[in-house]
Amino acid sequence: MFTGHNSKFWDERYQESEYAYGIEPNQFLTSQINRLKPNTQALVVGDGEGRNGVWLATQGLNVHTIDLSPIGIGKAQALAHKNQVKINAECADLTNWNWLENEYDLVVSIYLHFAADVRQRMHQLMLKSLKPNGLLILEGFNLGQLQYQQEYDSGGPKIPEMLFTPDILRQDFSDGKILELTETVTDLSEGRYHNGKASVIRLVMQKAPNFKSV
Ligand SMILES: C[S@@+](CC[C@H](N)C(=O)[O-])C[C@H]1O[C@@H](n2cnc3c(N)ncnc32)[C@H](O)[C@@H]1O
């Protein structure tokens, strides 16, 4: 069974000086600006070359960003430096990471797709790491992206089990309160690898104040 791309794959993608997904933050994330609070703790999972973590830091949040790729982490630190902000950028595999409970006010997951056997556990750990009432903001490719990849080469995993559907996300985050869940076809313009017409899912979820982790 495919267990997800390793750090070598992502290091190869990030080794060019150009930023693979650009240096601008994801548009769905920036559309949520009214929900963000300066001086709160944010965890950005699979932050790649740091475009989203750095943007959150420019909004005054304290950012902890995690990625598998040492080259991605280096580029995230360089981007933070260029923007005159600080981020805590850690190179780690989230499937073995020491996830803390009730630690973050915000978790951001943008285009982080896991192999089918770990996805639900990863989503549950994202929820667990939030403080009560904390928010998760997620954007990823919808199952319908398989068709758009063929027509527009607009990015994302080619393995159906790694893609999302609204039902999958509802199930994975059934212990949270869904504030927003939409499927949409959008025109991606995020660097070289996310470009063109694409089918995506967007989620904003809030951790319940009485959440009990298993
Ligand atoms: C498609 S890229 C998206 C990068 C970034 N979120 C963005 O939107 O620019 C997916 C990222 O997830 C990271 N990733 C995948 N599996 C991971 C894991 N198990 N632990 C940590 N990072 C992971 C990869 O290294 C890669 O940088």
Q: Please write down the HEC assignment for all residues of 131-188.
A: EEEEEEEEEEEECCHHHHHHHHCCCCCCCHHHCECHHHHHHHCCCEEEEEEEEEEEEE
pLDDT of 175 reads: 87
The residue to which tokens 């499927």 are assigned: 183
Report CA(61)–ligand 1 centroid distance (Å): 21
Q: What 3-state DSSP class applies to 88?
A: strand
Distances in whole angstroms, Cα of residue 135 to Cα of each of 75, 106, 209: 26, 5, 11
All structural domains of the chain: 7-207 (3.40.50.150)
Test site for ligand 1: of 112, 126, 202, most ligand atoms within 8 A of the Cβ? 112
pLDDT of 209 reads: 85
Amino acid at 198: A
Confirm if 42 and 105 have CB atoms less than 8 A apart: yes
Q: Distance between the two ends of the chain, CA-based, in angstroms?
A: 27
Q: Which residues line ligand 1 (CB under 6 A)?
A: 4, 10, 21, 26, 46-48, 51-52, 66-69, 72, 93-95, 110-112
pLDDT of 189 reads: 93
Spatial CA neighbour of 112 closest among 96, 129, 95: 95
Report CA(167)–ligand 1 centroid distance (Å): 23
Report CA(210)–ligand 1 centroid distance (Å): 30
pLDDT of 5 reads: 73
CA–CA separation, 52 and 60 (whole Å): 13
Spatial CA neighbour of 133 closest among 211, 31, 30: 211
Amino acid at 81: H
What pLDDT tens digit does each residue of the chain (214 aa) get? 455 678 899 999 999 999 999 999 999 999 999 999 999 999 999 999 999 999 999 999 999 999 999 999 999 999 999 999 999 999 999 999 999 999 999 999 999 999 999 999 999 999 999 999 999 999 999 999 999 999 999 999 999 999 999 999 999 999 899 999 999 999 999 999 999 999 999 999 999 888 776 5
Q: Which residue puts its alpha carbon closest to atom 15 of ligand 1?
A: 46
